[in-house]
Amino acid sequence: MGSVHMNLNAQKIPYELDAKKNTTVTYQELVDYYASLLKGRKDAKIIDVGQTDVGKPLQVIVLSKDGDFDPRLIKAKGKAVMLINNGIHPGEPEGIDASMMFVRDLLTENKLPDNLVLCVIPVYNIAGMLNRGESRVNQNGPNEYGFRGSRQHYDLNRDFIKGDSRNSRLFQKIFNTWDPDVFLDTHTSNGADYQYVMTLIETHKDKLHKDLAPYMKSKFTDELYKRMEKVGFPMVPYVNSKGETPESGLVSFLESPRYSTGYAALHNTIGYMPETHMWKPYQQRVESTYALMKSLFDVSVKESKDLVALRKKIKQMVVDQVEFPVSWSLDTSHVDTINFMGFESGKKKSEVSGEDRLYYDRSKPFQKQVPYFSSYKPNVVIKKPKAYIIPQAYDRLIELMKTNSVIMRQLGNDQVIDVEMYYISSYKTQSSAYEGHFPHHSVEVSSKKMKVPFYAGDWVVETNQPMNRYIVETLEPQGMDSFFNWNFFDAILSQKEYFSAYIFEDTAAELLKNDSKLKKDFEDAKKADPKLAGSGRAQLEWIYKRTHHYEHNYGLYPVGRLL
């Protein structure tokens, strides 16, 4: 009897077997489940992509009705590809459980479509999933779950550009291998209380390609809102409040390329990040995640042909595109209103500190219009060069470029090339460590046309390719998530040679004696700048910077722009 019972339950997941629906799968159960579910099937396959930071392989489950698992052939047949990522934050496990049931239901009910291939990452942050406990104090179940940080304590949802973790580099490989048309990355929120179980972040309309954004809104986003409402899970944009509570207004989330959907936008992929409300029962959160997954899948199947054709067209447009925004800021002059179902909030005395504290009253739901700030405008727009030239010394960057399908060639011989170079004229740096870095921001550059030696083996990246957005947004130092901002070029920011004043005093005096123009400029500069006039050291420095000894590579961004 025992074995019959087990067979009956073989396809059920721990979540379904728990009467309270408050259990999420463990890593071992997850791996075993897919292995058993897919065993002997011709239309589904588990692909091991490589070792993650904890040694266990990152897996992708691929469901392909005709049994074709070669992404190039699948693309050639004109099929769409949808990618689901789960457990980037394993403490937010709804998607892990929902995907198990969704994959099972598609397979056992024979519902695989002809025109779409589904790829599912069962869990992305495996180390985090293994690190089980109750690390989310504001979360209502499940009874035990994984941890947000990776093996090295990275937040993998900030690692899509810098690629510090093995996991991120593997993910980028998956993304570029399958080039998904639609991408879903499942999460649980933090923050305010309100009535919704499901909230949604999508690739920001002002960051997605201008021809893809309206299509995404009308054919996908609007449709998802309708379908979710119909099945009892009305949605609202991710609740990012302008003030203390949502009534102050919502600000749409700007997902720069460090985030999964921001990374997807660089590849002209439609991306969604559902965020279920952490204080709703686990069952509602899993059910709404399943419903959203299914809605997005169904819409993608319906749109497959148009979506594939449109993305093909857009990739060609990006090849020819000349100007690229690389940084955006909120346009506060543009405000919409949005219908919001919240709970009344108020202040009462804290029993801990005696100070005023915020509370939400769940017995007092409301529905009202609140301001919605949903527009971002570009604040830096770059005219692309004909090509970038990258010194081969920057190995890590070159690897990331290759992973991201960037077409590159190497110089065949040493040569001096006429290029435009940037000097980093100012920048700010975060004062505390963030995700393994001290990132820069607010970068200003000045450009200068120069003859620069490059060497055999240095890399030329032409900007006539579908990956132009990735190229420009990462290589331009002013890009929000540029490699410069992520500290790939920090060595150029410190001077390597200095002078000893006691020797340079005589040299400087000699220079002023022999160069009347320099002497006049020096006197003018002192008149204009009392600080200079008052400091002997500063005066030596001023002269030093005007000699041929001064290192002209200081602050020189080493990537050349071929015009």
3-state secondary structure 508-540: HHHHHHHCHHHHHHHHHHHHHCHHHHCCHHHHH
Nearer to Zn ion, 92 or 481 (CB): 92
DSSP result, 198-239: EEEEES-TTTS-TTHHHHIIIIIIHHHHHHHHHTT--EEE--
At CA 145, angle to CA 144 and CA 148, rounded to 5? 145
Give the residue from 95, 248, 256, 283 showing the smallest Cα distance to 184.
95
Binding range to Zn ion, per CB under 5 A, among 21-29, 179-187, 243-251, 426-434: 179-187
Nearer to Zn ion, 97 or 179 (CB): 97
Shortest distance in whole angstroms from residue 147 CB to Zn ion: 12
Residue 17, sorted as left (phi over 0), alpha (psi -120 to 50) or beta, turns out to be: alpha
387, amino acid identity: A
Q: Which H or E run contains 262?
A: helix 260-266
Nearer to Zn ion, 89 or 469 (CB): 89
Binding range to Zn ion, per CB under 5 A, among 81-89, 104-112, 338-346, 397-405: 81-89
Nearer to Zn ion, 176 or 261 (CB): 261
With CB under 5 A as the contact rule, the residue among 136, 151, 169, 187 that binds Zn ion is: 187
Shortest distance in whole angstroms from residue 24 CB to Zn ion: 14
Nearer to Zn ion, 278 or 389 (CB): 278
Nearer to Zn ion, 252 or 268 (CB): 252
Nearer to Zn ion, 188 or 474 (CB): 188
Taking CA atoms, 25 is separated from 34, 44, 462, in Å, by 12, 21, 46
Binding range to Zn ion, per CB under 5 A, among 182-190, 221-229, 261-269, 549-557: 182-190
What does the alpha-carbon distance between residue 230 and residue 218 come to, in Å, rounded to a whole number?
17
Site for Zn ion in 92-111 (CB under 5 A): 92
What does the alpha-carbon distance between residue 138 and residue 48 come to, in Å, rounded to a whole number?
35
Q: Which residues contact 529 (CB under 8 A, 6 or more apart)?
A: none
Shortest distance in whole angstroms from residue 155 CB to Zn ion: 9
Nearer to Zn ion, 92 or 303 (CB): 92
Shortest distance in whole angstroms from residue 64 CB to Zn ion: 29
Nearer to Zn ion, 199 or 300 (CB): 199
Pairing, β 415-429 against β 556-562? antiparallel
What does the alpha-carbon distance between residue 443 and residue 562 come to, in Å, rounded to a whole number?
21
Query: Does residue 285 bind Zn ion (CB under 5 A)?
Result: no
Binding range to Zn ion, per CB under 5 A, among 4-12, 134-142, 180-188, 454-462: 180-188
Per-residue contact string for residues 456-495; x = within reach of Zn ion by CB under 5 A: ----------------------------------------
Nearer to Zn ion, 125 or 345 (CB): 125
526, amino acid identity: K
Shortest distance in whole angstroms from residue 165 CB to Zn ion: 16
Shortest distance in whole angstroms from residue 277 CB to Zn ion: 12
Q: Which H or E run contains 127?
A: helix 126-130
What does the alpha-carbon distance between residue 84 and residue 186 come to, in Å, rounded to a whole number?
8
Answer yes or no: are the C-beta atoms of 321 and 468 closer than 8 Å.
yes
What does the alpha-carbon distance between residue 131 and residue 146 come to, in Å, rounded to a whole number?
5
What does the alpha-carbon distance between residue 427 and residue 158 come to, in Å, rounded to a whole number?
21
Establish whether the linkage from the previous residue to 142 is cis, with ω within 30° of 0.
yes
Structure tokens at 440: 């820069």
For residue 317, the Cα-to-chain-centroid distance in whole angstroms is 23
Answer yes or no: are the C-beta atoms of 105 and 120 closer than 8 Å.
no
Shortest distance in whole angstroms from residue 54 CB to Zn ion: 19
Nearer to Zn ion, 92 or 193 (CB): 92
**Total residues contacting Zn ion (rule CB under 5 A)?**
3
Binding range to Zn ion, per CB under 5 A, among 28-36, 186-194, 410-418, 494-502: 186-194
With CB under 5 A as the contact rule, the residue among 21, 89, 267, 469 that binds Zn ion is: 89
Shortest distance in whole angstroms from residue 86 CB to Zn ion: 11
Shortest distance in whole angstroms from residue 185 CB to Zn ion: 8
Structure tokens at 206: 């002002």
Shortest distance in whole angstroms from residue 148 CB to Zn ion: 7
What does the alpha-carbon distance between residue 98 and residue 297 come to, in Å, rounded to a whole number?
13
Binding range to Zn ion, per CB under 5 A, among 53-61, 85-93, 257-265, 396-404: 85-93
Nearer to Zn ion, 79 or 158 (CB): 158
Binding range to Zn ion, per CB under 5 A, among 83-91, 130-138, 223-231, 416-424: 83-91
Shortest distance in whole angstroms from residue 79 CB to Zn ion: 30
Q: Which H or E run contains 35?
A: helix 27-38
Shortest distance in whole angstroms from residue 242 CB to Zn ion: 21
DSSP annotation of 243: S
Q: Which H or E run contains 343?
A: strand 336-349
Structure tokens at 370: 């609140």
Shortest distance in whole angstroms from residue 384 CB to Zn ion: 34
Binding range to Zn ion, per CB under 5 A, among 8-16, 91-99, 439-447, 547-555: 91-99
Nearer to Zn ion, 187 or 469 (CB): 187
Shortest distance in whole angstroms from residue 223 CB to Zn ion: 24
Q: Name the site residues for Zn ion (rule: CB under 5 A).
A: 89, 92, 187
